[in-house]
Amino acid sequence: MSGPNKQYDPVEVATLDPAHLDAAVTAAFAAFAAAGSLEELKTARLAHVDKGAVAAAKREIGALPPSAKADAGKRVGAALAELGRALAARTVELEAERDRRILVEEAVDVTMPVGRRALGARHPLTLTTQRLQDAFVGMGWEVVEGPEVESEWMNFDALNLGKDHPARQMQDTFFVDPPDGGLVLRTQTSPVQIRTMLDREPPIYVVSTGKVFRTDELDATHTPVFHQIEALAVDKGLTMAHLRGAIDHFVRVMFGEGTRTRVRASYFPFTEPSMETDFVCFACHGDGRTNDAPDGAPELLRACRTCGGSGWIELGGSGMVNRKVLTACGIDPDVYTGFAFGLGIERALQLRSGVTDMRDIVEGDVRFSQQFGMEV
């Protein structure tokens, strides 16, 4: 480094020597050309422009006598300008190379097969429940709900199922601990009838869906936890004809025009008279016999295993609301009449979609649900 400089002495200020400056510029050019990446070019710039011989020469100018400053300044300025141009040109080249490399390295082949993520969808049972509700809502009925843990009084007594009724026995009903505590897992959606009639004045047109529980074994047409839909109408002048009409309409909407159903007399303590609606067996189509029994098999083995040989499967029960039930709910049976029906929703899905085994509906295998499409 130089001290105070009274005279322009190129030896003492070696960096300002033209040959020295030219050599520094040439070395910088070589370093720029050798840089293979923008990172390396930055290193070369730091070494040859920001620091190094040319930067030192620039600093020395200040120490020169005024007469020498202009000449030295011009040469250093020209050298820096040359380096700036070379640096910019090399930057453009290296940026273009980097962009080309990125395009190759990060290319996306849009024709490659991708791993598809399955979309979620509603369970076929949910879809069936909503369709059933829609059939009633389309007739102007209202959807209501009731609890799954129900009082024995609502589930049985208010429905005229006395203490000695077989449905109250342990083999049918799940009792909530302690067993004499008066609570059960509801065995039917009919207690919602009671709750509704206690809660509002006629005219009443309501429908309720939900889980019910019975100590049944799991088989092709039974499960211990299943779903029912319950419909209740209470108004002036309702008759069995209205009940038949409502069931017919609902069966047509739900299962299509040609669905074969039959009604037969039945008994429910809470309806009088009562009837049962059956649909034709989806496995044997009504003839009560199976095709897969071996030749020469006894008659017993030829009976359809789905319907037990009758050719019909029970869809639900119905009837005119028993006068005793109307009275227990504070409705005058001399002024109002009512009808009610309750269907098994799993059975409705079996009928609608030809599901021969109820276990497929409850076991939760996604391959079963997928066959119903992806309605969300």
Query: Rounded to 10 degrees, what is the CA torsion of 262, 263, 265, 271?
Result: 160
Binders of ligand FA5 in range 78-117 (CB under 6 A): none
Binders of ligand FA5 in range 321-350 (CB under 6 A): 340-344, 346-347
Q: Which residue's beta carbon is nearest to the bound ligand FA5?
A: 344
Which two tokens mark 35? 């840089």
Give Cβ neighbours of residue 361 (< 8 Å, ≥ 6 apart).
124, 125, 223, 346, 349, 350, 355, 368
Q: Compute the half-sphere exposure of residue 257: CA atoms within 13 Å on the CB side of its CA.
A: 0
State which residue, 167 or 293, has the beta carbon closest to ligand FA5: 167
**Contact region for ligand FA5 (CB under 6 A) — 47-55, 126-134, 149-157, 268-276?**
268-276
Min dist. Cβ of residue 142 to ligand FA5 (A): 17
Candidates 315, 329, 349, 361; binder of ligand FA5 (CB under 6 A) is: 315
Binders of ligand FA5 in range 198-257 (CB under 6 A): 214, 216, 222-223, 226, 228, 230
Tokens 């993520």 — which residue? 117
Candidates 55, 317, 337, 351; binder of ligand FA5 (CB under 6 A) is: 317
Candidates 52, 124, 146, 319; binder of ligand FA5 (CB under 6 A) is: 319
Cα distances from 310 to residues 284, 356, 358, in angstroms, run 10, 16, 18
8 A C-beta contact, residue 288 and residue 281: yes
What b/e string do you get for 224-249 counting C-beta neighbours within 10 Å, with b at 16 or more? eebbbbbbbbbeeebeeebbeebbee
Min dist. Cβ of residue 370 to ligand FA5 (A): 23
How many positions of this chain bind ligand FA5 (CB under 6 A)? 25
Min dist. Cβ of residue 224 to ligand FA5 (A): 7
Rg of the chain over all Cα atoms, to the nearest angstrom: 45
Min dist. Cβ of residue 119 to ligand FA5 (A): 29
Using the rule CB under 6 A, is 168 a contact of ligand FA5?
Answer: no
Q: Residue 175 has what DSSP assignment? A: B
Which two tokens mark 337? 């009449």
8 A C-beta contact, residue 295 and residue 301: no
Using the rule CB under 6 A, is 192 a contact of ligand FA5?
Answer: no
Candidates 15, 128, 196, 271; binder of ligand FA5 (CB under 6 A) is: 271
Min dist. Cβ of residue 317 to ligand FA5 (A): 3
Q: Phi and psi at residue 371, in whole multiples of 5°?
A: -65, -15
Tokens 């200020």 — which residue? 13
Using the rule CB under 6 A, is 318 a contact of ligand FA5?
Answer: yes
Distance CA 313, CA 349 (A): 13
Using the rule CB under 6 A, is 136 a contact of ligand FA5?
Answer: no
Min dist. Cβ of residue 182 to ligand FA5 (A): 20
Distance CA 51, CA 53 (A): 7
Q: Which residues bind ligand FA5 (CB under 6 A)?
A: 188, 190, 214, 216, 222-223, 226, 228, 230, 268, 271, 274, 314-319, 340-344, 346-347
